[in-house]
Structures are given as C-alpha cells and as structure tokens.
Amino acid sequence: MQKPLILVTNDDGITAPGLRALISYMKEIGVVVVVAPDSPQSGMGHAITLDSTLYSKKVSVDLEDDAPLEYSCSGTPADCVKLALQELLGRKPDICVSGINHGSNSSINVIYSGTMSAAIEAGIEGIPAIGFSLCDYSWEADFKPARDYIIRIVKEAIENGIPKGVVLNVNIPPLNKEELKGIKICRQARANWKEKFDKRTNPNGKDYYWLTGEFELLDKGEDTDEWALAQGYISVVPTQFDLTAHHAIQDINNWNL
C-alpha cells in the first residue's frame, strides 16, 4: 500500500523543536513534506499575505538519510498551507498536522493561534487536519512523553477520517509519560484573557506598549479542554470553521428587519 502523504507545518518556525519532534513522529507513519514559516509566526491567527511578495525555498534542516522534503516560507502559517497545496506538493496530502506548538492553544487561545489556523486552512480545503500544542512555552520543552499519543491520534484520523468541516485541536499537558492519564474528547472551555497594556517610553520620548494579561477561566464544567488538561489528560476538541451561530438564527429572524 502507498504510504500516506503527511503535510507538516507550524507557527513557531521551521527550526522550532516542536516541529522537529512532530516530523520525526510522522516519519513513522508516512511520507512527510514540510512547509513551515522561515521565522516565528505565533499569534498570527488566520492572517494571509496580500500586500507583499511571498517567498519559498527548499531547505535542509535535518542531515539524516531519510530527511523529508522541506520548504521554508516567508509568510504566515495559513500561507504555508495554501502554498503547499497549490504549488509545492505533487498530490493532495492524506492529512495535515500542525505543531507541535510551544504553548497552549486550548479554550479561547484557538482564536489567535497560527498553529490551529494552519490546520483550519487545510480543513477548509477538505483535508483532514490536526493541530498539536504542548502547554509549555519553553524552547527546551520535552515533547517525547506525548509521542505515542500523537502517533495514535494521527493514525486513527487517517484510518477513520475526520468529519467534514471539522479540525481537531489537541492540547497536551506538560507531564512525564507516566503522569499522562490518556485522552479526553472535550468541548472548548469558556474563558477569556483579562488584558493589560504595559505602557513605556523609549529614550526618544516615544510611547510604546507591551501586551500582558491573565487567563480567566469562566467555565466550571468537567467536560472541557481546560478541565481535562488540569486533570492530566490530553484534550481533543473537534473544532469547526463554520462560524455561524445556528442557535441564534431564529432569534434574529424575530427582529423587525
């Protein structure tokens, strides 16, 4: 049987340790092609490049004999997937995996996530897609404890398919292998960022700002991604990119419009 073609991307950049770990895991499953940003693109959401040129080139990051075909891209994570599907791949991939992100993309964070936006872009094109994130922002984070779970999730997605219009958002707690309790299929927790701007002045007298804030969990449910992560489970949230609030249609129809 032909091995599955796996498109691997991320938002932390093509040299990020999380991406290198994901590549090594995916090589155990199929043929890997990497298209990833040439520099960090965290927090870019679903931004795409419209008003400037987009560049891509083949790169050699790994020196192993079985190193995959890799391209760096000057654009955003969504750009990477668009370019991969339209220009760089010889055929439609069987699955797109994005990550492993350095930091959480659970709850409201999915809105801002470049990691998930790359996966969502693939999903829009009808390709099964998964975004993986480790809840550890350190560049030296240990991705190995979740290896077997990541491989299992991807294999199941290839074998069974992912429902049309759905992309999986997978978040992993920063625990040792022995501490990970398993996988929970969850809903997205209701939460928000209580944001602040740290205002400063540079030596030339010009004001500038650093965005800061605190994560505010507003959900006490025991079926959410935040609850699962706190209990030591890997959370899997089926995420849809149809943003229609279907439950509100009837209410709005009752307006005098």
Binding site, by residue number, is 11-12, 42, 101
Feature table: binding site for a divalent metal cation: 11-12, 42, 101
d(CA 91, CA 127): 12
- Write out the E strands in the chain: 5-9, 31-37, 56-59, 69-73, 95-102, 129-134, 166-172, 182-185, 191-201, 207-217, 233-240
Spatial strand order of the sheet with 56-59 comes to 56-59, 69-73, 31-37, 5-9, 95-102, 129-134, 166-172, 233-240, 182-185
Phi, psi of 111 (to 5 degrees): -65, -35
DSSP tag of 87: I
- Cβ within 8 Å of residue 122, ≥6 positions away: 7, 81, 85, 93, 96, 98, 128, 129, 167
Can you tell me whether residue 155 is helix, strand or coil? helix
